Copies of this chain bind each other. A is one copy, B any other.
């Protein structure tokens, strides 16, 4: 089932999902962050139908998440590389990965991460951009911002 477009929804979560909320798209980004650039490699790793993969890659190129760069002339073949906009999705992938590690990975995390700075096995944790302290959901307050077109917050029960 095709859902309605989120374009008119005045919300950055919805706008992001308009670009990356398609089936497979976030797994394509995951593999691109791992260094995959070629159609056949995405196709093999994901087990995705070629027409679907083509469509997802084209959408990501159209939205400036990936760029296509020819690496061969006859026949022409492309590398698909992440742009800055695309690389910036690593925080989304990291958050999804860690949630899955915590709540779904019965055998332990399939992938672990080391911080080059301190050398420890670690997780990515949310911190305040201004004071650097760790933050929890309860330590944040949300307000209507400059791009708001209506009060985004419901009545609380």
Residues of A within 8 A of B (CB): 1, 3-4, 6, 10-21, 23-24, 26-27, 30-31, 33-38, 41, 45, 47-48, 52, 79, 85, 87-118, 120-135, 137, 139-149, 152-154, 156-157
Q: Could you name 30 residue pairs across A and B whose Cβ atoms are closer than 8 Å?
A: A1-B52, A10-B110, A11-B100, A12-B96, A12-B101, A12-B105, A13-B93, A14-B100, A15-B105, A16-B99, A18-B104, A20-B96, A35-B154, A35-B156, A37-B157, A38-B157, A91-B98, A91-B99, A95-B95, A108-B147, A110-B148, A111-B143, A111-B145, A115-B131, A115-B140, A118-B131, A122-B128, A124-B128, A124-B135, A126-B126
List of B residues within 8 angstroms of A126 by Cβ:
91, 94, 124-127
